[in-house]
Every structure is written in structure tokens, then in C-alpha cells.
Amino acid sequence: MQTATGWQDYQLLDCADGMKREQWGDYRLVRPDPQIIWGREHVLAEADAIYHRSEKGGGRWEFRKPLPESWAIRYAPLGLRFKIRPTNFKHTGLFPEQAVNWEWFSALIKGARAAGRPAPRVLNLFGYTGAATCAAAKAGAQVAHVDAAEGMVKWARENAALCDLAEAPIRYLCDDCLKFVRRENRRGRRYDAIIMDPPSYGRGSSGQMWKLETHLWPLLQECRALLSDTPLFFLINAYTAQLSPTVLANLLGELFAGDPDCTIHAGEVGLPIQADGKTLPCGIFARTQWSAPPASATQ
């Protein structure tokens, strides 16, 4: 388990009875989480807003005091700022546990630049609101940010501006990830690193159905062909409870079989719970890298 401990503007305050209470800057939000199956008395009185699930699907926010439409929080260790907004689907536009991955690949990018390599070309697939895009660009990479939702691509641009990256070498593309990767291969474009955060289920920009168990392997094969002759890293994040980190490691092991220069590491990411010292598991990852990481990249 790798735990995101570098936050100051975010804290996971408490968890119980399927709910988590979080501090997002000046505001406290309570949201459901399927990993929280332990129970005890859970006090929600200090919440500024609570997300209630509906038995019919989806849910709604109960605002106990007026909140701004959006606000910003910082991830100080990397000099990043992100727009936070409670959405209709309980999310806020940021997954704070991913800070452990931002730290890891930022150190690799900085190490490559310090060694004299040109700015690495990074492809961020299913880029969502662009936190990983901003982290990679801040570290010195050129980034192609791809997501099928136009609203998420717009949000990613806003986050880049908050991070003083409005003029950074970032391409924003609203597109189906698999179709985009196949076109990039036909164009002969190459990338030094790939980040992907595929959903369990989803739809592409033209309504194409995505199912992780069916479509992830073909996407990985296409991405393998996109890598340059001197790749830096390959990162897969996943949130589906049906997969273990070992499955992701096996996928990368199959993808890069016979490559003696790469190493693979897989595990979980989580957040520390301030109230009792437990850790909330928040997802899984698998990473491949081709060069000895700087000391600051080893966790």
C-alpha cells in the first residue's frame, strides 16, 4: 500500500458506515465509499455538504451551508493547484490518493531532464480533469491529454491555468482513447511515457461502449506500439474492485515480455484516516520503468 501523506489542503478525517468525511480546503464534505464496510457511530454534524445515494441510482448533495460553485486546493510538494467542485455523481474532480503516482513519475521526468534528455513526451489517456497532466507538465514533460468528455477536457485546461501551465506544451484532445491511439500509431507518433486511468465501464466521445475486461488489453497492445525506443515509464491506474494489482502487473508483464530493461511494480494506493490511523484503500496501480529511478522516486 502506498499512502498519500503529502497533502495540506486535503484530509480524510473519518470513515464509518459506508461514508467518509473529508476536508477539502475550507469545506468538509461527506461522501459514500464502498470500501468502508466497518460500522460504528458516525457523526456527520460537522459536514458542510453530504452526498446521499438514491436507490434508483445516482444521488444528490445536501448542502448544510452555502458553498461556492468551485474552489481551489494546493498540492504543495509539487506546486500544483486544482479546481474542486461537488458534481452530481459524488465526485469532486480530484482523486487525492493519486498524489503518490504524481510524485513517482514527476521524479522520473525530472531525473530524465537532469540527465540531459529532451522534454519527455507523455500521453495521458482517460485524463479526466488533468491532475496527472499538470504534474507531468510541471515536471518538464510535453503532454497529450485525452478524454472522451468535453467538460473534463475543459476542466483540465482550468487546472493547468491554476498551476501556471496555461502556456505549457499540453495538447488537449476530446476523443475516444482507443481510436486516438490507433490514429497516432498510423501517424507514426511516439511517446516516451504513457499514463492511463481507464474506467470499469464508460462510453467514448461518439457513444462507443468501453468495458475494461474486454477493451483494456487491445488498448495496451496499441499503446505498446506507441512507445519510443527510449521509454521512461508506463502507468496504469484502476478503481474496479474486481481486479487485483497482480492482474495489472500480469498485463504489463505480458505486454513487455522479453524486455530485460524494464521493471514492474504493482500495488494499492490509499489515504490515511486522521481519526484512527487506519488507511482507506482507494485503487490499484501497476508501473513499468526503464531506467534506474532517482532516489526521490523510490517509495
Residue spans of the domains in the chain: they are 2-69, 96-290
CA distance 103 to 53: 33
pLDDT digit string (tens) for 68-81? 999 999 999 999 99
Q: Which residues pair with 283 in a beta bridge?
A: 269
pLDDT digit string (tens) for 139-160? 999 999 999 999 999 999 999 9
pTM (2 d.p.): 0.92
Strand, helix or coil at 208? coil
Q: Any idea which architecture 2-69 has in CATH?
A: Sandwich (2.60)
**In this structure, what DSSP letter does residue 297 have?**
G
* Nearest residue to 280 (alpha-carbon basis) of 44, 38, 102: 38
Helix extents (H) in the chain: 99-114, 131-139, 150-162, 177-187, 212-226, 245-255
CA distance 118 to 258: 27
Q: Are strands 80-84 and 233-238 parallel, antiparallel or unpaired?
A: unpaired
What is the CATH T-level fold of the domain 96-290, as seen in this structure?
Rossmann fold (3.40.50)
Q: Do domains 2-69 and 96-290 have the same CATH topology?
A: no
Count of H-run helices and E-run strands, the chain: 6, 17
pLDDT-derived band at 208, boundaries 50, 70, 90: low
